[in-house]
Amino acid sequence: MKKLMLGNEAIARGVYEAGVTVATAYPGTPSTEITENIAKYDEIYSEWAPNEKVALEVAIGASIGGARAVSAMKHVGLNVAADPLFTASYTGVNGGLVIFVADDPGMHSSQNEQDTRIIARGAKVPVIEPSDSQECKDFTKEAFRISEEYDAPVIVRLTTRVSHSQGTVELDDRENYELKPYVKNPAKYVMMPAMAKRRHVSVEERMAKLKEYSENSSLNRIEWGDKKIGVITSGIAYQYAREAFGDVSYLKLGMVYPLPEKLIKEFASQVETLYVIEELEPFIENQCRIMGLKVTGKDKLPVIGEYSAGLIKEKLLGETIEKLNDIQDEAPGRPPVLCAGCPHRATYYVLKKLKLTVSGDIGCYTLGALAPLESVDTTICMGASVGVAHGMEKARGKEQSKKTVAVIGDSTFIHSGITGLIDMVYNNSSGTVIILDNSITGMTGHQHNPTTGYNIKGEPAKQVDLIKLCQAVGVDRVKVCDPFNLKEFEQIVKEEVAADELSVIIAQRPCALLKHVKFGPVLTINQDKCTKCRMCMRLGCPAIVDRGDHIEINPTQCVGCDLCPKVCKFNAIEKAGGQNE
Amino acid sequence: MNNTNIMIVGVGGQGTLLTSRILGDVALASEMDVKVSEVHGMSQRGGSVVTYVKMGEKIYSPVIEKNEADIILCFEKLEALRWIDYAKKDATIIINSQRIDPMPVIIGKAKYPEKIIEKIKANYKKVVDVPALDMAKKCGNIKTVNVVMIGVMAQCTEIEKEIWLKAIEKTVKPQFVDVNIKAFNLGYDFARDCFI
C-alpha cells in the first residue's frame, strides 16, 4: 500500500516495521513528529523524556536490555545528549540503537545552524542520510541492521525539508524482533578507564569495517548520466541537484560517515567536472579534498542557509531568474507573534513597564524579544535563562539582580532550568526566576511534559509540582500568580525583584490554543470613548490595529481574552458579542 | 507530462497545513507522484507561511522556486503580494480578499500596501479574488476559509469533484466534515465561471 507521509512520519513507520519496542525523545522542531507518530503504534513503548540527555540514556538502557530502541531530537538536542552519545559509541549496543537528529538549515525554528555530521564524526558514530520519505523508512530499517552488525549506535540525520516534506511511501509489515538476552558484561558496558581503553580499540576497528561496508552499501549509489558533470551529494541537496542539473552523473550518498572513499575516487575518475553539493558544512567536500580530488563546492556555494535548485543553478551554472514584476518589493515583513490570548503577552507587558533586564529562554515566549514588547535581552539555549541571569548578578553585583529576571517555560524549566536554579540556591543568588507555566510544551505544537499531568498518549500521569520542586531545592520565596491579573502580577514582580533573597514566580495561565481554554465574547473599541492614547497598542496583540485615524480590534483575530480592557484607562474597550474559538 | 506546482500561502494559524494535506491526498488519488513541503514550528505563530505541493510523473525537489508556480492559493492579500514572484507568467492566482495586518503594520513601522489585488491583476492575467471570509461565515465557521479556497481551486483543475470531497472527508475531523463540504461547495459554485 502506498501512503503520503511526512519524512518524520515515514521514520516512525520505519521504526515500527523494524520491530522497535522502546522510543524516547524531547520535542524539538523539526524532529517532533517522529515521536508523535511513533506514539500512535501501540506495539511501541514511547515517552517524552524531560530532556534529550535523559531520552538518549533511556534508549541506551533499552538497547543494553536487548530491545531495538530509538531516540529523536533536533540538532541542538544532540548537544544536550552529547555526553551519553560519545560513550555509547564505546559501549556499542545489544539491541539496535538508532538516533534521529533533525538539523534546521535556514533556521526556520532554531537558534543556530549546526551540522550534526560533525558531532557524529567526533563521537565516531556512523551517519545515514535519507533524501525523501521513502528513504526515511527504508534507511531506518537498514540503520538497525548496521547498528547490530557493527555494534554501534547509528545516527539518521535529517533536515527540515526532509522531515517536513510529504512524499509517497510503500508500507511493509512489522518485523518480529525478539528481545535479545541481557548478559552482564562489565568489559563492554562499564566505561571506566581500564575497560574504555579496550573499547576504544574496538571503536576504531569498527569504523574501519564500516568504511568497507560503506563502499558496497546499497545506501550509496551511482546514477550515470552525462559524464561531463559529476555531482556528489546527499540528503535533500540530492533533490535540488537533480532538478538543477538534470541528466548528469550523480553519486548519491546515503551513508555520509564513514564515507566510501574508493567509490568516490572511482566516480571522480570518470567525470570531467566534479561538484560536491551539500547543505551547511563542507563535510563530504573536505574529505574529497583530503583525498586529493579537484572539486567545486563551498568555493561557490554558501555554508549558510538552505539550498534550492535555483540557488545551485545561479551559483554553479550562472543562470539568473527573470523578474516578472516589480510589485513584490512593497510587501512588509510578517514575523511570528504571540497569539491573541497568549498568557506571555501579559507577563512581558509588565516586565517592559518595569524596565527590567530579561534573561530569556527557548519557546514561544522567545517572541517577547520582538516589537513592540521588546522585552527579552538574551536567548542562548534551553535552560540558559537561569544561569545567564545568575552570571549577570555575579558580574555586576546585587544591584543588577534587582533589575533582572530570568523567564523560562514550564517544559524548559524541567528540561534544564532546574539545575541552574540549584546553582542560584547554592551560590547565594538574590535573583528572580519567572516560570511561565502555560500547562503545555507550546512552540513545538502541544506536547505533554512532566508538569502537565499527562503522558505522551494523553493518559493521566504523575505530575511534577513546580512549587514543591522549587521549595525542595531551597527557594524560600515562591509566588504563584496569573499574569492576566496585571496589577497583582506587577506588584509581585516588583517585590520579588527588590527582595534580597532568591525568588521564583510561577506565572500560571494555560496556552490560549489549548482546547479547554474558553474566552468571553470578542471585544471592540468604543470610538466615542477612545482617546487614542495607544496604551492597548503596547500589548502587541495581533488583533489590535492602528488604522491611522482610529484604533480598532479585528473581530476575526480577537479571541476575547479580556486583557486589553485592563490597560485601557478610559473603559473604551467593550464586549462586542460573537465568539471566536 | 509537465508537473503541476501549487503554492499555498497565508498567515500561521489559517489552516495551510490542513489544505496541503487535502491537496496531497487528491494528488495521490490521481495516481501522480507528489511531494508536499510544509512549515512547522515558529512561523506557525502568526508568521508568513508557505506550503508547496508538487505533482507530476516524478518529483525531486519538494520546493517550488521563483517563476515556477502554476497556481498560488493565497489566504491573505499581503501574502499574495509577498509570494507573487513565485508565479509563472500565466499562473492562476486565487486570492482571499481578507486582510490581516502584520505586526510591523500594527505598530506603525510599515504600511499595508494599497490596492494589492489590482496591482497583481495588472501583472498577471488569471487572478481570482474571493471573499472567502464572508463565505466561511455563511457556512457558520470562519475556520473554513481554507476549504472555501480549495473549492475555488478545484474548478481550475481537471480533477473530479468526487476526489476532492473524498479527500476532505478523509482529512478533517468527523464532526467538521459537513461544514467543510458546505464550504467546499460554496467555493466550487462561486468559481463556476472563473476559469472558462
The answer to whether B101 contacts chain A (CB < 8 Å) is yes
Number of residues that this document lists for chain B: 196
Question: How does strand A551-553 pair with strand A544-546?
Answer: antiparallel
User: Domain ends where: A216, A243, A271?
Assistant: A216
How close A136 comes to chain B (CA, Å)?
14
- The pLDDT value given to residue A328: 85
Q: Looking at the structure, tell me whether residues A266 and A349 fall in a common domain.
A: no
For the cut 80, the answer to whether the pLDDT of residue B42 exceeds it is: no
Q: List, for residues A65-110, the tens digit of each pLDDT value.
A: 999 999 999 999 999 999 999 999 999 999 999 999 999 999 999 9
Dig out the grid coordinates for A474 from the structure: 531551597
Average pLDDT value for chain A:
97
- Pair A388, A495 in one domain: yes
Residues A126 and A177 in one domain: yes
**What percent of chain A is helix, strand and coil (3-state, nearest 5)?**
40, 20, 40
Give the model's confidence band at A578: pLDDT under 50 very low, under 70 low, under 90 confident, else very high.
Answer: low
Looking at the fold, whether A443 and A563 belong to one and the same domain comes out as no
Question: What's the domain range around A180?
Answer: 2-216
pLDDT tens column, A115-162: 999 999 999 999 999 999 999 999 999 999 999 999 999 999 999 999
Q: Where are the beta strands (DSSP E) in A254-300?
A: 255-257, 273-277
Q: Are residues A14 and A90 located together in one domain of the fold? A: yes
pLDDT computed for residue A93 by the predictor: 98
Q: Where does a domain end: A161, A186, A216?
A: A216
The candidate with the shortest Cα–Cα distance to A550, out of A571, A528, A568, A565, is A528
Give mean pLDDT, residues B128-150.
95
Given a cut of 70, whether residue B188 has pLDDT beyond it is yes
Residue B85 CB neighbour total at 10 angstroms: 18
Q: Which amino acid is at A379?
A: T
- pLDDT higher than 80, residue A332: yes
Q: Is residue A580 predicted with pLDDT exceeding 70?
A: no
Could you give the strand order of the β-sheet that contains A22-25, starting from the edge strand earlier in sequence? A45-48, A22-25, A69-74, A97-103, A154-159, A127-128, A255-257
A498 and A529 share a domain?
no
Say if the Cβ atoms of A33 and B107 lie within 8 Å.
no
Average pLDDT for residues B113-136, to the nearest whole number? 96
In contact, B65 and A319? CB cutoff 8 Å: no
- Residue A22: all three cell numbers together: 522502546
pLDDT at A345: 98
SS3 assignment for A501-550: CCEEEEEECCCCCCCCCCCCCCEEECCCCCCCCCCHHHHCCCCEEECCCC
What are the tens digits of pLDDT across the range A443-453? 999 999 999 99
pLDDT tens-place string over residues A351-368? 999 999 999 999 999 999
List CB contacts (< 8 A) between A440 and chain B: none
Q: Which of A240, A546, A557 sits opposite B108 (nearest CB)?
A: A546
Is A120 in the same domain as A29?
A: yes
- Same domain flag for A130 and A204: yes
Indicate the residue of B25, B47, B120 with minimum beta-carbon distance to A335.
B47
If one counts the domains in chain A, the total is 4
| In a domain? residue A324 | no
Same domain for A29 and A116, yes or no, is yes
What is the pLDDT, as a whole number, of residue B40?
76
Taking only the tens place, the pLDDT of each residue in A457-497 is: 999 999 999 999 999 999 999 999 999 999 999 999 999 99
| Tens digit of each residue's pLDDT (9 = 90 or more) over A247-278 | 999 999 999 999 999 999 999 999 999 999 99
Q: Which residue of B has its CA nearest to A322?
A: B67
CA distance A360 to A371: 15
Contact A109 B41 (CB under 8 A): yes
- Find, in chain B, the residue whose alpha carbon is nearest to that of A242: B60
Among the candidates A155, A182, A216, a domain finishes at A216
| Least confident interval from A488-497, B24-33, B53-62, B68-77 | B24-33
Residues of B in contact with A161 (CB under 8 A): 37, 62-63
Instruction: Specify whether A470 is located in the same domain as A538.
Output: no
Q: Is A239 on the interface with B (CB under 8 A)?
A: yes
pLDDT at B43 over 80: no
Tell me what the mean pLDDT of segment B105-111 comes to: 90
- CATH entry 3.90.1150.10 includes domain B4-190: no
Question: Distance (Å, rounded) from C-alpha A525 to C-alpha A555?
Answer: 11
Give yes or no for residue A581 having a pLDDT over 70.
no
| Residues A396, A449 within the same domain | yes
Q: Work out the pLDDT band at A577, boundaries 50, 70, 90.
A: low
Beta-carbon separation of B67 and A542 below 8 A: no
Q: For A530-576, how does the pLDDT look when each residue is reduced to its tens digit (9 = 90+)?
A: 999 999 999 999 999 988 899 999 999 999 999 999 999 999 999 98
Task: For A65-126, give the DSSP string.
Answer: TT--EEEEEEHHHHHHTHHHHHHHHHH--SS-EEEEEEE-TT-SS-S----HHHHHHHHT--
Instruction: Categorize the per-residue pLDDT at B30 as very low, low, confident or very high, splitting at 50, 70 and 90.
Output: confident
Contact A130, A254 (CB under 8 A): yes
If pLDDT is split at 50, 70 and 90, which confidence band does B13 have? confident
What residues have CB less than 8 Å from A457, skipping those under 6 apart?
A39, A46
Alpha carbon A357 to its chain's center? 26
Distance CA A111, CA B146 (A): 31
| CATH code for position A367 | 3.40.50.970
Residues of A in contact with B27 (CB under 8 A): 4
The continuous run of DSSP H or E covering A375 comes out as none
Nearest-CB residue to B38 (from A164, A321, A334): A164
Rounded-to-integer distance, Cα A135 and Cα A238, Å: 12
pLDDT-derived band at B158 (thresholds 50, 70, 90) equals confident
Whether residue B156 is predicted with pLDDT greater than 80 in this model: the reply is yes
Chains A, B: CB pairs < 8 Å: 188
Q: Using the beta-carbon criterion (under 8 Å), do B81 and A557 form an inter-chain contact?
A: no
Cell (9 digits) for A69 = 530502541
The CA–CA distances, whole Å, from B102 to A101, A421, A543 equal 33, 37, 10
Tens of pLDDT, residue by residue over A160-208, are 999 999 999 999 999 999 999 999 999 999 999 999 999 999 999 999 9
Same domain assignment for residues A491 and A354: yes
Task: Tell me the C-alpha distance between A272 and A231, whole Å.
Answer: 11
- Predicted confidence band at A385 (pLDDT cuts at 50, 70, 90)? very high
With b meaning 16 or more CB within 10 Å and e meaning fewer, what string describes B46-78? Answer: bbbbbbbbbbeeebbbbbbbbbbbbbbbbbbbb
Q: Does A246 touch chain B (CB under 8 A)?
A: no
Q: Is the pLDDT of residue B44 over 80?
A: no
Phi and psi torsions of B29, nearest 5°: -65, -25
Say whether A581 and B40 touch across the interface (CB within 8 A): no
